[in-house]
Amino acid sequence: MAKHRGRGIASINYPIGMNLGGDPSQALVHSNPSGKFTVSMSSIDLGQGMKSVTRQICAETLGVPVEDVYVDTADSDTGPHCMGSFASRGTHRVGNAVMAAAREARGVMMEAAAEELEVNAADLETDGRGNIHVKGAPHRSISTKDVAIAAQFKQGKTISGRGIFLVPLSEVNPETGEMSPATCYAHACLVAEVEVDDETGEVAMVRMDSAYELGRALNPRLVEQQLVGGAWMGISHALFETPEPYYPNPAHGPRDFVEYLMPGPGDICPHDIAVLERPAADGPFGAKGPGEMCANPVLPAVANAIFNAVGVRMDELPITPEKVLRAIKAQGGARPQARR
């Protein structure tokens, strides 16, 4: 009786957004007379950081500091339509809508600044710190606050913008499945190392190394949070969770977190992540979306690592100690494969 270590890999891609109804989202951006901007949306921040990512997209596009932008969400009276927060669509779809709205608002802001500075708007640029100045002549400058005051009380302009992002629906061919299901794809490869106890059937995570290609990490800390949390969910799905342990038999359903097992702090492992950025042509600043895909490579990588450790193929989830032990027994003991 012994503990055996093994490594397994999986590589995947993931489609961003969905091919239903054009998958639209809208956003509105406007400035108050102090040059502070509000983004109005009905989109939902589920904790993934939609408000923060769209805030950065809006600030970058307007050319103002992020502190000058506030994102207001989740109100059907003030926020325009959004399909919802699912299908890894938040950063890409909602981000694009915010970008379009911010671009339109920036256009008005630059026109208003041009009128105040008595120059052509095309000759102006923003410094990202709250000022607009003539290109190559930073002393000929006006603050976004003064522009907003002038627009509201002198020029009669609304510094505001509307944005929508829509991908026309792609018909699905009934005979061949031909379709345009998504506009861009994120990628990943993950290596999992496990330790399998051939006496108890228990699988312990040892470590994970991964590479994710996400177009652009708009906020690397939010990306890290998604990838670390998503990998935990993957471990949980691979080794612990199910409301129907003997599926398709529906019996033995859990009723609470005492009966529904998930990994605790002692069950997780170090996870070393690399992020690659190959910008998507239609993503906001090239961004795709890390939301859903991050759990996906963990499941097969763990199953493949178990094979490498003890030589059994686990083709049914979750991979419980009971299943591992039965499989080891059926093949007459652990058969460790070549160490990698």
Partner 1 sequence: MLELRKDIFADERDDNLKEIGKGTQRQDMLGHVTGTSTYFDDHKLQGMLHLKVLRSPHAHARLRRIDTMEAERSPGVRRIIRGADVPRNLNTLLSLINFGKDDEPSLAVDKVRYKGEPIVAIVADSPREAFEAMAKVRVDYEPLPAVFDVEEAIKPGAPVVNEVYPKNTFIYHDVYDHQKLRFGDVERGFAEADHVLEQRYQMSPIEHAPTETNGSIAAPDTNGRYVVYTSTQALFFSLDTCAKILDVPSNTFHFIGGTVGGGFGGKVDTLTEPLAILGAMLTGRPVRYQLGREEEMQFGSPRGAERIYIKDGVMRDGRIVARKIRAYFDSGAYTRLSSYAVVKCVAHLPGPYTIPNVHGDVYCVFTNRTPATAMRGFGVTAMDFALECQMDKLAHLVGIDPMEFRILNAYRDGDMKAHRREAKNTALIECVQVAAEKAKWPLREEMKRMSSRKDGGGSRAAIPATPLEAVAQRAAVSQQRTTYDRAQPATIQQPPPLTPTPPPPRPPAPSPSHGATRFSSVFGTRRR
Of the candidates 96, 109, 91, the one whose C-alpha atom is nearest the C-alpha of residue 49 is 91
Looking at beta carbons only, is 156 or 174 nearer to partner 1?
174
Pull the structure tokens for residue 199: 């006496």
Q: How far is the CB of 102 from partner 1 (least distance, A)?
A: 11
- The residue (of 90 and 152) whose beta carbon lies closer to partner 1 is 90
Q: Quote the CA–CA distance of 38 and 29 in Å, as a whole number.
A: 6
What CA–CA distance (Å, rounded) separates 190 from 210? 4
Cβ proximity to partner 1: between 33 and 181 the closer is: 181
**Other residues' Cβ atoms within 10 Å of the Cβ of residue 247:** 12
What's the min distance (Å) between Cβ of 17 and partner 1? Answer: 10
Q: Which is nearer to partner 1, 136 or 156 (CB)?
A: 136
> Of 78 and 158, which has the nearer Cβ to partner 1?
78
Q: How far is the CB of 204 from partner 1 (least distance, A)?
A: 18
Interior/surface letters 18-40, b for 16+ CB within 10 angstroms, e for the rest:
bbeeebebbbbbbbeeebbbbbb
Min dist CB 69 to partner 1, Å, is 9
Closer residue to partner 1 in complex, CB, 115/282? 282
Q: Which residue from 13, 15, 305, 16 is spatially nearest to 188, judged by alpha carbons?
A: 13
Report residue 149: phi and psi, to 5°: -65, -45
SS3 string, 148-206, reads HHHHHHHHCCCCEEEEEECCCCCCCCCCCCCCCCCCCEEEEEEEEEEEEECCCCCEEEE
Contacts of residue 270, Cβ cutoff 8 Å, sequence gap at least 6: 207, 208
The nearest distance, CB 336 to partner 1, in angstroms, is 14
Q: What are phi and psi of 239, to 5 degrees?
A: -115, -20
Q: Is the separation of the CB atoms in 30 and 214 below 8 Å? A: no
Beta-strand pair 3-15/185-197: antiparallel
State how far the Cα of 157 lies from the Cα of 160, in Å rounded to an integer: 9
Considering the complex, state which of residue 11 and residue 120 has its C-beta at the smaller distance from partner 1.
Answer: 11
CB of 192 to partner 1, least distance (A): 9
Closer to partner 1 by Cβ: residue 122 or 251: 251
Task: Work out how close the CB of 227 gets to partner 1 at its nearest, in angstroms, rounded to a whole number.
Answer: 7
Q: How far is the CB of 324 from partner 1 (least distance, A)?
A: 15
